[in-house]
Amino acid sequence: MIIISIAAALLAALFIFLSFRVINLRRTRKIAIGAGDDRELERAMRVHANFAEYVPFALVLLILCALRGLPDVLLALLCAALVFGRAIHAYGLAQVKEDYRFRTAGMIVTFGVLAMSALALLVLAFR
């Protein structure tokens, strides 16, 4: 579980960074609710929300994989991929002049972690 703990701590740090980015934009632009017409704030909000939508479920799957006995090396690869995928997705989506390669690669990696974790759980459940 130490592998997942490290990944969760890194993901929490990234989540806090994304949260403060939204807070700072809200404060400097004086927008308390919603995004107004501010495209940068809207983007920051979506980056934060997208992270919050995918990371908890991925961590639950990874924890279940660990509890079912997935080898540490596979767990480490999946955790590293999740951290990497979420970081590059956040970077790509945060850019007003977006480079879709980062966003796309981040989602592919994230979906890969979700799919491989789910598949591993099915295999582990029936062995």
**Residue 89 has what pLDDT?**
95
* E strand map for 31-123: none
Domains of the chain by range and CATH?
2-125 (1.20.120.550)
Helix (H) or strand (E) holding 28: helix 2-29
Q: Other C-beta atoms within 10 Å of 109: how many?
A: 20
**Residue 95 has what pLDDT?**
85
The tens place of each residue's pLDDT in the chain, 127 residues long, gives 899 999 999 999 999 999 999 999 999 999 989 888 998 999 999 999 999 999 999 999 999 999 999 999 999 999 999 999 999 999 998 888 888 899 999 999 999 999 999 999 999 999 8
DSSP state of 109: H
**Residue 58 has what pLDDT?**
98
DSSP letters along 35-88, please? -TT-HHHHHHHHHHHHHHHHHHHHHHHHHHHHHTT--HHHHHHHHHHHHHHHHH
Q: Indicate yes or no: pTM above 0.85.
A: yes
List Cα–Cα distances, 5 to 11, 47, 49, 53, in angstroms: 10, 23, 22, 19
